[in-house]
Amino acid sequence: MTKDGIILFLLHIVKRIGIYTSGGDSPGMNACIRAAVRTALAFDIEPYGIRRGYEGMIEDDIQPLNAASVSNIIQYGGTVLKTARSKEFMKAEGRAKAAENLKKHGIEGLVCIGGNGSYTGALYLQQEYGIPAIGCPGTIDNDLAGTDFTIGFDTAVNTAMDAIDRVRDTAESHGRVFFIEVMGRDSGYIGLYAGLAGGAEGILIPEKGNQFEVLIKHYEQKSRKKEFSIYVVAEGDDEGKAVDLSKRFLEHYPESDTRVVVLGHIQRGGKPTASDRILASRLGAHAVKGLMDGLSNCAVGVVKDEILYTPFAEAIKGKKELNDNLWVLNEMICR
């Protein structure tokens, strides 16, 4: 017997779970919260919301949730549970206080929505206090192992693509060269996807070196048949940020009309796309299922459209490789 594809014959029944978001917000977190709460309720599990992540655990900002608590939130960006980065939780005393509060509320398992830092915190709670947790990958950077895509990535790419489209109008009208900086301190996924979708002439990301020289060589070869250019730069590119690269470009072409656009945190906000809402809903539901099945210390993800649970240690340390086929495609058509 199944209920919405989730097996009813379960290895372990938890009576009460805590749900929280931690680290940077990403569009789709609310959809994940909603799915986790309503899946828990469907199986007579009491869901509790922990506000502001680990900070809320320490300060006992923990409240019961019901179906109405998560009504009309699926379409909003950000997180209704709020989020924070807790320095106190990094200390043993802080974690002890957080564990004490969780046990006071009778919480037997956690659904942790966030990235590497959030996963690490959940791992500490299990190792030190035996509180099991399942992680849901919530980050726009798409840099977590164990899942093809993370919650918020698709929305961030669409936001960046829309910005590139708008900048293109001005670039073409004035014959300008634009360097558009997207988020991605350690990962070039947003840069690659947004650059491809936006028709950029060049993409500079941390995973691929020496792209500035390729950019200059290409700019020289096309003899300016095209009167404007758009280059997408990941903020963590080893060759510099967009401002640095624009200055280097001007050293080669001082006569060019060059501009810089830094998209920044607008990529984190806004209504989540359908893809992010569906992904987040699947992950939230299966995080609860994982706890019911007695799993802990792992993150839930979707790989080739199949649900997969990956140990936290592997998800935290694992290196997610860039899609080389897409990079080859970029080299052929983004010119």
Answer yes or no: do 145 and 47 share one domain.
Answer: yes
CATH number reported for the structural domain that contains residue 49 in this entry: 3.40.50.450
* Domain range for 68: 2-152+272-317
What average pLDDT is seen over the chain? 92
C-alpha torsion angle, residues 208, 210, 214, 220 (rounded to 10): 150
- State how many domains the chain has: 2
Tell me whether residue 330 is in a domain: no
Confidence (pLDDT) at 90? 94
CATH number reported for the structural domain that contains residue 207 in this entry: 3.40.50.460
Tell me whether residue 123 is in a domain: yes
pTM of the model: 0.93
Angle at which helix 153-174 crosses helix 274-292, to 10 degrees, equals 160
Confidence (pLDDT) at 2? 42
Confidence (pLDDT) at 1? 32
Question: DSSP label at 175?
Answer: T
Taking the C-alpha atoms of residue 30 and residue 286, their distance in angstroms, rounded to an integer, is: 15
pLDDT digits (tens, 9 = 90+) for 239-266: 779 999 999 999 999 999 999 999 999 9
Confidence (pLDDT) at 8? 43
Answer yes or no: do 65 and 145 share one domain.
Answer: yes
Answer yes or no: do 146 and 23 share one domain.
Answer: yes
Confidence of residue 186 (pLDDT cuts 50, 70, 90): confident
Confidence of residue 224 (pLDDT cuts 50, 70, 90): low
Answer yes or no: do 55 and 100 share one domain.
Answer: yes
Answer yes or no: do 140 and 182 share one domain.
Answer: no
If we measure between CA atoms, which residue out of 125, 102, 104, 114 comes closest to residue 18?
102
Angle at 146 between CA 143 and CA 147, to 5 degrees: 70
Answer yes or no: do 123 and 60 share one domain.
Answer: yes
Confidence of residue 225 (pLDDT cuts 50, 70, 90): low
Alpha-carbon distances, residue 238 vs 209, 234, 243, 253, 332 (angstroms): 7, 9, 13, 22, 23
Residue 5 predicted with pLDDT over 70: no
Average pLDDT of span 224-250: 86
Confidence of residue 238 (pLDDT cuts 50, 70, 90): confident
Beta bridge partners of 109: 17
Confidence (pLDDT) at 210? 80
Residue 121 predicted with pLDDT over 80: yes
Q: Which position has the higher pLDDT, 335 or 303? A: 303
Residue 38 predicted with pLDDT over 80: yes
Residue 143 predicted with pLDDT over 70: yes
Residue 99 predicted with pLDDT over 80: yes
Confidence of residue 180 (pLDDT cuts 50, 70, 90): very high
Answer yes or no: do 125 and 114 share one domain.
Answer: yes
Answer yes or no: do 279 and 262 share one domain.
Answer: no
Confidence (pLDDT) at 209? 83
Residue 85 predicted with pLDDT over 50: yes
Angle at 151 between CA 148 and CA 153, to 5 degrees: 75
- Detail the DSSP E strand segments found in the chain: 2-3, 6-7, 16-21, 46-50, 62-64, 109-114, 133-137, 177-182, 202-204, 229-234, 258-262, 298-303, 306-311
Residue 155 predicted with pLDDT over 90: yes
Residue 318 predicted with pLDDT over 90: no
Tell me whether residue 64 is in a domain: yes
Taking the C-alpha atoms of residue 8 and residue 289, their distance in angstroms, rounded to an integer, is: 9
If we measure between CA atoms, which residue out of 68, 75, 61, 66 comes closest to residue 21?
61
* Range from 1-15, 43-57, 251-265 carrying the lowest mean pLDDT: 1-15
Confidence (pLDDT) at 321? 86
Catalytic residues: 141
Final residue belonging to a domain, choices 237, 268, 299: 268
Supply 54's token pair: 């680990």
If we measure between CA atoms, which residue out of 203, 211, 152, 155 comes closest to residue 181?
203
Residue 295 predicted with pLDDT over 70: yes
pLDDT digits (tens, 9 = 90+) for 188-201: 999 999 999 999 99
Answer yes or no: do 14 and 140 share one domain.
Answer: yes
Answer yes or no: do 246 and 303 share one domain.
Answer: no
